[in-house]
A = this chain, B = another copy of it.
């Protein structure tokens, strides 16, 4: 069989596996894999460095199918290149419970994926973070003759990806940083779900991306393997700019619905499958992989050799640069220093009041030398969020060693990039913005959680207490929003010491993101109680025969203590509990939880929406919370007017205890 015939046979194998699987599931997206198969084939067969036998090998190229609905493309490629768990049976079980082949690709679920995709725009945005991670780690750790970090990052994306706003943020950032090893292939098929692209979008993608500083290439015929390969070569040759390759394809290629929106998201039907196979010249039973294709496409040997070469280089690197070698190994394992907790700054109770955002800044700078993977930045509010590592530079085009990033006013792109940096391996990204703008990054926060990536979100200016900037800048419902996300940890520390402990716990938690919700205003320093923070909640002021338990977080812990003092003066004994992290508190045994919460009636105090508090105070408890938007005025005025005063807490306590 000629090379060209073998190529065509391979491409049609990808195509027919995809439509057979969609048909078997009677659910899924046949159109995209039919059109994308040649570019998927070309990229994986001719360029992608990966080892199916070791899917997390750090030296591999990264590939993200940003158009995640085309999942059968990547599942077919994983099967054909030899990923052991991706058996033919798994393809037959597409979209079934517990299969390796969920509807959209899920990192941590299926070997060989570099990211979870489906929420459009985020796949490509994560590749920007991956390419940043590669450039950054290369700048810090590569040495002459030792390309420890040296890989390309590829994505295939659709029109939907490029319509999403996050594509703008990510592409502008990638262009600014000149990420020359980042390559996106645009499945430019002129069709979207509702209609033809021309009915919803008139962008000239070339101008737009050249505006971002990208190289833009065009492949006129998406079935032309040679042209696709030449474009990828040209993309790799441009080392100072990322490249967008517009590949003109036909959605649903070969099917009766080719070139129409109908090809997008519905199975072709038995007849459609038959006709498509006829058009492709395919006359095998469903789920057939011709032996010559299996042999041709297996990446097992090639991948093993590539990895072995890298490992050998790494061994020489470790010998030549023992300290760096150790650091790289620790980094890739996300090892934390033994003395993490000891290295935290400590503040004496009663020492100068300090905003927890400032405490966080001190902690970041104390830990940065010990946690080399700690990198990050903010969405143009670093001075306010105190997220900068002061003894390091900012990452810039051509100079990627800086551990700080000017992300620009791009909260969502920043957070998606952080997910990509984390997925790349080794890094422990932190990102910062104002708490209220967690709204802008929520979709990426969810993907941190779903992908179990330990990104730390530093969210400052955490309540109406921020004052004058007013309701557009004052979070109210964001704590409820973040606390509802499965697998994420949310801390709202009461003071400097709780902030330090929260940072250590954020670094120790490796199964998801952590949000650190921090004050703009100064808060008094309480006695350090790391053990208490580790348990999520603890008693900060006890009282014998307490008539009420005051539950509070963050800036409201000090208010609760003042209120307890006032209540004591009125003969009402009040216990005060600080609850920096609900998730950790829920994990404690029932006995500890009972011990902390006590048996007295409870009153919750938090300058935020009440929704999360009913879990702790029940239907009969008291609430000093906020179910309205804030107002513009000095912070202490706003807090007082909205009920965050000793007087009002005392009033609510009296109403609650009757």
Binding site for B on A (CB under 8 A): 25, 27-28, 68, 95-99, 102-104, 106, 116-121, 159-161, 163-169, 172, 175-176, 192-195, 199-213, 378, 380-384, 394, 396-397, 406-410, 412-413, 436-437, 439-440, 442-443, 446-447, 449-450, 467-473, 476-477, 480-481, 483-487, 609-612, 614-620, 627-629, 631-634, 637-638, 641
Contacts and interface: CB of A to CB of B under 8 A. Distances in A.
A407 to B, nearest CB: 7
A192 B160 contact: no
Contacts of A116: 472
Contact of A202 (B117, B118, B175): B175
Contact of A164 (B118, B169, B619): B169
Query: Can you list the 7 inter-chain pairs with the closest CB atoms, starting with the nearest?
Result: A165-B165, A207-B211, A168-B168, A102-B632, A118-B472, A208-B211, A614-B614
Given A97-B638, A205-B211, A212-B208, A406 B172 contact: no
A195 B620 CA distance: 51
Contacts of A473: 103-104, 118
A378 B104 CA distance: 22
Given A103-B468, A469-B103, A381 B118 contact: no
Contacts of A199: 394, 396, 406
A27 B209 CA distance: 39
A95 B469 CA distance: 8
A442 B480 CA distance: 13
10 contacts: A27-B467, A118-B472, A192-B380, A193-B384, A194-B406, A199-B396, A208-B212, A211-B211, A615-B619, A616-B619
Given A96-B633, A98-B631, A163-B408, 11 more contacts: A95-B633, A97-B641, A103-B473, A163-B169, A164-B169, A199-B396, A200-B380, A200-B406, A450-B472, A486-B609, A614-B615
Given A439-B446, A628-B486, A172 B203 contact: yes
B486 A477 contact: yes
Given A97-B637, A469-B118, A615-B619, A632 B103 contact: yes
Nearest to A122: B472
B443 A440 contact: yes
A176 B195 CA distance: 14
A614 B200 CA distance: 43
A202 to B, nearest CB: 4
Contacts of A615: 610-611, 614, 619
Contact of A211 (B27, B204, B447): B204
A628 B620 CA distance: 28
A43 to B, nearest CB: 23
A160 B380 contact: yes
A484 B439 CA distance: 13
Nearest to A178: B202
Nearest to A102: B632
A656 to B, nearest CB: 14
B611 A409 contact: no
Contact of A119 (B103, B382, B472): B472
A246 to B, nearest CB: 13
Contact of A208 (B27, B207, B484): B207
A612 B480 CA distance: 9
Contacts of A620: 618
Contacts of A208: 207-208, 211-212
Nearest to A466: B103
A202 B194 contact: no
A473 B71 CA distance: 14
Nearest to A488: B477
B169 A95 contact: no
Given A381-B194, A641-B97, A470 B103 contact: yes
A633 B101 CA distance: 10
Nearest to A158: B409
Contacts of A410: 163-165
A30 to B, nearest CB: 13
A480 B484 contact: yes
Contacts of A381: 193-194
A617 B627 CA distance: 20
B611 A483 contact: yes
Given A213-B203, A468-B27, A631 B102 contact: yes
Contact of A469 (B99, B104, B384, B483): B104
B409 A159 contact: yes
A580 B36 CA distance: 43
Contacts of A195: 394, 406
A451 B218 CA distance: 45
Contacts of A641: 97
A209 to B, nearest CB: 8
Contacts of A483: 611
A321 to B, nearest CB: 32
A274 to B, nearest CB: 23
A440 B609 CA distance: 21
